[in-house]
Structure formats: C-alpha cells, structure tokens
Amino acid sequence: MSDSLLGLDEPPQPRQEAYRVLARKYRPQTFSELIGQDAMVQTLGNAIKRDRLAHAFLLTGVRGVGKTSTARLIAKALNCIGPDGQGGPTIDPCGVCEPCRAIAEGRHIDVIEMDAASHTGIDDIREIIEASRYSAVSARYKIYIIDEVHMLSKAAFNGLLKTLEEPPAHVKFLFATTEVNKVPVTVLSRCQRFDLRRIPAEMLAGHFARVSAAEGVEAEPEALASIARAAEGSARDGLSILDQAIAHAGLEGGGVRAEAVRQMLGLSDRGAIRSLFGLLLAGDALGALAALRGQYDLGVDPQAVLRTLLETVHGVTLAKLGSDATSGQSAEEMKALEDWAAGLSFPALHRLWQLLLRGHDEVAKAALPIEACEMALLRVIHASQLPDPGELARQLANGSVSVSAAAAPASTPAEPATPASMAELVTHLETNKRFQLAQQVRDYLRPVRFDGSEFEFGAARELPHDFIKELGAALRESTGVNWRLKCVEEAGALTLREQQAASEAAERDAVLASPVVAAAIEAFPDAELIGWTNSRSNQA
C-alpha cells in the first residue's frame, strides 16, 4: 500500500484551538479594561509614580470582581520593561515585553501563584519563606500571589508574619480573599488593603454588550440587563450566564432574547410582576393568587417572585424621589413606576417593603414555598385595606373618630336563611349549636365552589369518614334544603382559619411598619408589640 493512501504525504492538519469560555477570554489584560474599580486603579497609579509601593497588598471583595486579575495586573505593572526593554514600573504595562507576556500566560518564573485552599499548611509557607531569600531570576520583583489566603492554617499565618513584616526588597506579596474577616489582624496590619467593589448592574450590562458585539452575537438590552442583575455585581458570574445564554440561543441567529434569558434563569417576567403588583394594590386576592400560580407553573421560584416585587417597590420609591431610571428599564416599566409613585405615600411604600421582605424570608425557610408565598401576598392585600396606623392615631388624638368606630365593623349584615358563603355557613352552624361542625368547616375546608346549596371543597387535612353525611343532615334540618356536598382533589382557596391568621398577621405587620411604631422599636430595640388585636377588642 502506497504512502499516499496512508495519508503520509498529506500536510499535517492544524489543531483546532480549544474553546475558551467568555470569563477567561475577556479577562482584563490592562487596568483600563478592569471595570468598576477606578479608585483602586488611581491609588495604585499614584503609588507607582511616586515610588511608594507597599511590600504586600491584600485584595478583598465578592467573587468575580477581579481580585486575581488585579493581582496579575499589579505583577505586570511592577515588572514591565516596555517595548524597548528600558521601561520601569508603570500603571499602563505594555503587554508586549517578555515579562508582560510571560505573566499573562502564567509562565513567568518569578511570579508564583498559589491556591491557599489546597496549600494550607506551614510546610507550604516554609517553601515560600526559603525561596523569598533569593533574588528574582529575570524580573525586577519576585511576586507571590496567594489566592483565598483566608484558607491558610493558623500555623501557616504565624510562619508568614516575620517575612511579611520585613520582606527582602525584591519580594512583593499579593493576597486575594473573599472572606477578609477570617484573615488575622496581624496579617491585615502588614498589608495595604484594597476593597474591590461590586460592579454596578448598568456597568455590567454595558460590558456584556461590548462582549456580545465582539462575539458577533445580537443581544437585547433587556436580556443583558437581566443577566447583569442576576450576576449580583460579579463580572465572572455574568459572563458565565452570557455564555450560557449564547449557547441557549443556538445557531439560528436569533440572538440573546430577554424571554429566553428569563426562562433559562427561572426569572419572573417583569411585565407579569407589574400586573401582580397592580392586583396587590387593588386588593384582588383571587387575581393575585392566580397570577402567582401562573408564574409558578412556568417554573418561576416563589422567592424570585417576591424578590422582583421588592425590586418593584424599591423602583417606585426611587421614582417618587425623582431618581433617574436604572439601566435596562423599558418605557412601559418607567411609566408604571411613575404612576404608582404618584398614588402611593412613603409610609405605604415602607409598609409594602416590610411586608414583602418578611414574606421573602418566610418563603426561604418554608417547607411549602408556594403556599407560604400565597400567604405573604394575602397578608399584603389585607394590610392594604387597613387604615394607616399613623393617620388613625392622629384621628384618635384629635377626636375626629372614636375608638369604637375605628374598631367596629362598618355594618353587621343579617344572617340569610340559607348561607351564601362559607363564612355564613360557619355562623349558621354556630347559631344552630353545631359547634364541632362549625369548627371543622372553619379549620379544614378549602372552598372550590359555593353556589346556593351546592358546595365543593378541598380538605386541608383528612376529614372524619362521616363528615359529609353529618354536615348534610345538619344543613337539611336547619335550612330545609337538600345540600350537595362534595370533597374534590383541587387545592381550593384558603380555609377561614388560614384567612384569619393572614389578616391578623397583616394587621400586626401594618402596625409594625408604621413610622411611629418603627421609630419606637428602633429607639427601644427590646420593645415588643403585645396584644394589638385583643387591646382593640377590649377598647371597642
């Protein structure tokens, strides 16, 4: 067989370069590419110009804001020799000299990176101490970059102290950590500390737009704004999400769309949240619960719904203050926020914030998240129908309303011959001295349909086996009508007991969220609100 058939005379095929994720591909190579850290860059630049360089730097901040990238940039800045080989330390390293290229590629012999998470012991630090005594091989400074330095053991920290306090002139230490509170104060006092800020969402969105353009991918501004918010100030997290969104878009050329990003991240549709917020303000309990279930059926986390509602309240408050719109807001969203801002007072907004924040915390810990979210929304609705506690207190003080008028219901409707709702059914049973049945209806039944003498319901817990038979007989005796009672599998609305609990909690939260009570509790942190409902009833 000839060599040509074996392919031996064919030129070797070039090896395809492995794909690099966006977070690595767009790692900043100069300080000008490092976004959101202008104060730190200015401080470093001034220190280099004045030759006032510290021997140890500590870089802190949340994940993905550029701590390790900054450490490498500092290493390049200190060891750059310029294109002509005659340069000195500079805040704008050239990127073309051998030290710059070697550091960028991670192969410079005098720039040693160590991950403290996997090198935690005193033996690892002893190696650094011994090696630091020798001059740099080819660079101006020998630089040690220790990532996640808080992971070092106590013995390792103690072994490093003396060298860190009086290092050789040719050695620089660069530490990075996400948990600066775990670094001993003896180490902190020997370092120049830089706290890297979370990157603002609008700045991240602009950065992602530039990356998308460089990748030749079309991306909707709203999609990039959603990614920026989900990144929570982390450029690396945001680029990882953008990478996923580009892959999610596929090869059809559709680009990165806001709806696709929401589905990918399990985020709630902001338009749907605005509708839900409007239903809450209107006091439409059934509509609000249906809207919540619609989002839940789409796969949206109940906690994410409450988080977006909190963002909406915050946006309304900023709009009421006259603040500029945030990045990524549509004209429709800005108009809605302005309309709500015009109709809501600051006390009402503060009360909404407190109620939703409490609901968010409850859902995070709840065994039944969607049910806890429903209860939280019902609490908000009931609270919106209550009088403002501050205004009510002022009216009571000036005598424009009496205590009994404030506490008593507006009217007491007469009981119909045939109950028309589950609440009337409970009252009817109690009037006819069927107290056990009344308690079971109030505590266990979740109404699905109540139409005349036809009553369909779900059960919050297992009912006695003869419950329906006994209830039907009692109603037939007291109303003279044969009732059609049916227990169904549907969840139904809340039981009367659950509704009462939500209403009482909403009333209490409304009082706690009022400016007067909030100020009192802030002044007296150990104070508690005791017996609000009982005290009202006693006064009435």
Write the DSSP string, 80-110: ---TTS-----SS--S-SHHHHHHHTT--TT
For the chain, what is the domain count? 4
Pick the closest to residue 277 from 168, 162, 381, 390 (CA basis): 381
Determine how β-strand 454-459 pairs with β-strand 445-451. Answer: antiparallel
pLDDT in tens, 322-339: 876 565 566 777 888 888
* Whether residues 287 and 434 fall in one domain: no
pLDDT in tens, 167-218: 888 999 999 998 889 999 999 988 999 988 888 888 898 999 999 888 888 8
- List the Cα angle 466/472/478 in 5-degree steps: 135
Integer Cα distance of 120 and 101 in angstroms = 29
Extract the tokens encoding 411. 């009217």
Confidence of residue 372 (pLDDT cuts 50, 70, 90): very high
- For residue 34, what pLDDT is reported? 87
Specify if 171 maps to a domain: yes
* Whether residues 451 and 366 fall in one domain: no
Q: What is the CATH number of the domain that holds 380?
A: 1.20.272.10
Pick the closest to residue 175 from 183, 186, 167 (CA basis): 183
* Whether residues 163 and 249 fall in one domain: no
Q: How far is CA 350 from CA 313, 331, 332, 346, 439, in A?
A: 9, 25, 24, 6, 37
* Whether residues 424 and 353 fall in one domain: no
Please determine, for residue 35, whether its predicted confidence score (pLDDT) is greater than 60: yes
Specify if 335 maps to a domain: yes
* Whether residues 119 and 219 fall in one domain: no
Write the DSSP string, 182-240: GS-HHHHTTSEEEEPPPPPHHHHHHHHHHHHHHTT--B-HHHHHHHHHHHTT-HHHHHH
Q: What share of the chain is helix, strand, coil (3-state, %, to 5)?
A: 55, 10, 35
Query: With pLDDT > 90 as the criterion, what percentage of the chain qualifies?
Result: 14
* Whether residues 48 and 172 fall in one domain: yes
pLDDT in tens, 383-414: 766 655 566 566 556 655 554 444 444 444 44
| Alpha carbon of residue 171 to chain centroid | 41
* Whether residues 162 and 64 fall in one domain: yes
Confidence of residue 454 (pLDDT cuts 50, 70, 90): confident
- For residue 202, what pLDDT is reported? 86
Specify if 1 maps to a domain: no
* Whether residues 166 and 59 fall in one domain: yes
Q: Which of 168, 195, 222 is the last residue of a domain?
A: 195
- For residue 393, what pLDDT is reported? 61
- Weakest mean pLDDT among 123-132, 247-256, 257-266: 247-256
* Whether residues 258 and 274 fall in one domain: no
* Whether residues 370 and 431 fall in one domain: no
- For residue 386, what pLDDT is reported? 61
- For residue 481, what pLDDT is reported? 83
Q: What is the CATH number of the domain that holds 172?
A: 3.40.50.300
pLDDT in tens, 69-100: 899 999 999 999 988 888 888 888 988 999 99
Q: What is the CATH number of the domain that holds 259?
A: 1.10.8.60
Specify if 309 maps to a domain: yes
Specify if 5 maps to a domain: no
Range of the domain at 299: 270-384
Long-range contact pairs involving 7-11 (C-beta distance under 8 Å, separation at least 24):
none
Q: Are 21 and 240 in contact (CB under 8 A)?
A: yes
- For residue 24, what pLDDT is reported? 87
Mean predicted confidence (pLDDT) in 263-282: 81
- For residue 11, what pLDDT is reported? 56
Q: Which of 211, 235, 265 is the last residue of a domain?
A: 265
* Whether residues 53 and 171 fall in one domain: yes
The arrangement of strands across the sheet holding 111-115 comes to 111-115, 142-147, 171-177, 56-60, 192-195
Residues 6+ positions from 375 with CB-CB distance below 8 Å: 359, 362, 494, 498, 501, 502
pTM confidence score: 0.57
Mean predicted confidence (pLDDT) in 408-424: 62
Integer Cα distance of 232 and 438 in angstroms = 51
Specify if 389 maps to a domain: no
Specify if 411 maps to a domain: no
Q: Which of 265, 282, 313 is the last residue of a domain?
A: 265
* Whether residues 65 and 96 fall in one domain: yes
Specify if 12 maps to a domain: no
The arrangement of strands across the sheet holding 445-451 comes to 445-451, 454-459, 484-487
- DSSP-assigned beta bridge partners for residue 142: 171
Please determine, for residue 521, whether its predicted confidence score (pLDDT) is greater than 60: yes
Backbone conformation region of residue 322, classed left if phi is above 0, alpha if psi is from -120 to 50, else beta: left
